[in-house]
Structures are given as structure tokens and as C-alpha cells.
């Protein structure tokens, strides 16, 4: 009985072992199948990588061949251009040489060779003249009138347009605004008016303001007026009369110690500026007759008004 039971247990163990062996074999087969599949995938990937590498190598070879062909073509074109440039340079040199020869031949035909100077072995000496003077052939002299005409016809051209004049006006306006503000502050600040330094600075601002106003005015006169000499003469005469009148008024003050020579100089200047104004006005009216007509009409109206006022005063007095 015990033997039978032992045989059954042994059979069951064998059966279980057989089942385990079958399971292990199945697992081994599955692993073998997976390894086979992985091997096939790796082989396929290797074949694909090899194909791509072959294709890239072929493309690189083609690009290399194309670059080499382009380099050879560029070298051939550069050589051809160099040859053309060399040929053009030689042609230009030949043409220049031909022109030089042609010009030389024309010059030889037009201007005959100058005769060689004849040297006298015994120069003529005039004993009545100072020692050391030897008579020479008379040289042509230029008349003084021709020399004067050269200076008379000379002109000074200024190439200044309206944009440049507008720029000077804008800059002048800004500068005048700044300097006027500085002078205003100086006049209102009594604490620094006794300082010599700030007096000089104020004078500098005043003078440069006059310069900033003068530049655009002069440029406008040059651009708009043809008779510039007459206009500038009138402008300077007006400024001279004003300055001389101010100087005369200052000299008449009892607190001023003025020399008689200085008074005489101011009086002479006043007369001179009056004459200058008349001369400038004459040339201006001569150039622009309409200005003279307007001035004449205004003078007649003023004279008529003064005559009427004088008559009215006489009637009231009578």
C-alpha cells in the first residue's frame, strides 16, 4: 500500500516537473523568437543605415564634382577677363600713343620752331646813360587801361541759396533769444553790474547779437538786390548817422570831458555820412526808378501837409 502511494506521489512529481519543463521550454522558445525578431530588426536597420550612408556618399561625391567644375569654370572666366583687360590696356596705350604723336605733329605744323636768339659779341653801350646799362630790344608793355579793366571786370561770386539763408535766420533767432535772455537777467541783477567781468560778458553778448542779426540781413540783401553797392552804402550811411548823432548827444552832456578835436571829428563824420547817404540814395534811385517815384510822391505829400498846417497856423494867429 505504501509502495502504491509512493509511486503515485512520484508520478505526480514527475508530471509537475514535466509541466514545469514544458513551461520553461515555452518561455525559452518565446525568448528565442524575440531574439530572432530583434536580430532581424537590427539587420534591417543596418541595411537601411548602410543604404543612407551610401546615398550620402554619392551626394557628397556629386557635390565635390560640381564644386570642382564650378571652380574650373570660374578660373577659366577669370583668365578670359584678364586677357580681355590686358588687350584693352594695350589698345588704350596704343591709341594714347597715336594721339600724342598726332598732337605733336599738329603742334609742329602750327607753331614753327622759334628762331634761336642771336647773341652779339659786342653789345651796344650808350655812354650817355649810367654805367652798367646796356640797351636791349624794346619789350611790349601792357597799357594801364587794360590792367585797370581787369580789376574793373573782376567779380566775387557767392554760391548761397535760400535754404542756407533760412538756416542762418533760424540759428540767428535762437541765438538772439538766448543772448537777449542773458542781457535781461544782467540788467535785472544789480549785484553783478559793478563787476568788470560781467560788464565785458554783457558787451560780448550785445556785439555777437548784432553779428547774428547782420549775417542773414546781408545774405538776403545779396540775394534779393542787384545794386548791392548802393543799398549797402545807404545802410551804412543810416547806421553812421545814428551813431554820430548818439556820439554828439553824449558829448553835449556837461558831465563829459570831451576834447575839441573829438567834437570836430564827430561833426565831420556826421557831414560825411550825410554825403554818403545822398550818394547811395542817388545810385539806388538810379537803379530802381520806382523807389525814387515813391520817395518823390511821399515828399510832395509831406510838403503839402506842412504847407497846409502852416496856413492853418497863420489863420489862427491872424
Q: Nine-digit cell at 175?
A: 541765438
Residues of the chain with confidence (pLDDT) below 50 = 117-136
Quick one: pLDDT at residue 275? 93
Q: Which of 168, 181, 282, 158 is nearest to 231 (CA)?
A: 282
Quick one: pLDDT at residue 5? 80
What is the domain partition of the chain in residue ranges?
160-224
Quick one: pLDDT at residue 204? 93
CA of 290: how far to CAs of 223, 232, 238, 282, in Å?
20, 18, 21, 13
Q: Report the C-alpha gap between 316 and 278 in whole angstroms.
A: 38
Quick one: pLDDT at residue 125? 47
Q: Nine-digit cell at 82?
A: 584678364
Q: What is the pLDDT of residues 146-163, one digit of tens each?
A: 655 655 555 555 567 888
What is the 3 state secondary structure string of 118-148? CCCCCCCCCCCCCCCCCCCCCCCCCCHHHHH
Quick one: pLDDT at residue 157? 53
Stated length of the chain = 318
Q: Report the C-alpha gap between 318 and 316 in whole angstroms.
A: 5
Quick one: pLDDT at residue 129? 47
Quick one: pLDDT at residue 109? 66
Quick one: pLDDT at residue 268? 92
Query: Which residue carries 548827444 as its cell?
Result: 249
Amino acid at each position: 500500500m505504501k509502495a502504491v502511494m509512493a509511486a503515485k506521489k512520484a508520478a505526480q512529481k514527475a508530471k509537475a516537473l514535466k509541466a514545469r519543463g514544458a513551461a520553461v521550454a515555452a518561455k525559452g522558445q518565446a525568448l528565442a523568437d524575440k531574439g530572432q525578431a530583434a536580430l532581424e530588426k537590427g539587420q534591417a536597420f543596418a541595411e537601411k543605415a548602410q543604404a543612407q550612408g551610401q546615398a550620402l556618399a554619392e551626394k557628397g561625391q556629386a557635390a565635390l564634382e560640381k564644386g570642382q567644375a564650378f571652380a574650373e569654370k570660374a578660373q577659366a572666366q577669370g583668365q578670359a577677363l584678364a586677357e580681355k583687360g590686358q588687350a584693352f590696356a594695350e589698345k588704350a596705350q596704343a591709341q594714347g600713343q597715336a594721339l600724342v604723336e598726332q598732337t605733336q605733329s599738329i603742334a609742329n605744323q602750327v607753331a614753327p620752331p622759334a628762331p634761336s636768339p642771336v647773341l652779339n659779341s659786342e653789345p651796344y653801350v650808350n655812354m650817355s646813360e649810367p654805367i652798367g646799362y646796356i640797351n636791349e630790344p624794346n619789350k611790349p608793355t601792357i597799357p594801364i587801361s587794360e590792367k585797370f579793366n581787369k580789376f574793373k571786370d573782376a567779380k566775387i561770386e557767392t554760391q548761397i541759396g535760400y535754404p542756407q539763408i533760412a538756416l542762418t535766420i533760424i540759428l540767428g533767432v535762437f541765438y538772439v533769444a538766448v543772448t537777449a535772455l542773458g542781457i535781461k537777467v544782467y540788467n535785472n541783477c544789480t549785484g553783478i553790474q559793478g563787476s568788470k567781468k560781467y560788464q565785458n560778458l554783457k558787451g560780448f553778448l550785445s556785439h555777437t547779437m548784432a553779428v547774428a542779426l547782420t549775417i542773414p540781413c546781408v545774405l538776403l540783401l545779396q540775394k534779393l538786390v542787384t545794386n548791392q553797392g548802393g543799398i549797402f552804402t545807404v545802410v551804412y550811411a543810416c547806421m553812421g548817422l545814428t551813431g554820430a548823432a548818439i556820439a554828439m548827444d553824449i558829448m553835449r552832456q556837461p558831465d563829459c570831458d570831451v576834447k575839441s578835436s573829438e567834437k570836430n571829428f564827430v561833426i565831420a563824420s556826421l557831414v560825411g555820412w550825410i554825403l554818403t547817404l545822398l550818394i547811395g540814395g542817388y545810385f539806388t534811385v538810379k537803379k530802381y526808378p520806382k523807389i525814387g517815384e515813391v520817395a518823390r510822391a511821399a515828399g510832395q505829400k509831406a510838403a503839402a501837409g506842412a504847407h497846409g498846417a502852416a496856413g492853418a497856423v497863420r489863420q489862427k494867429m491872424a
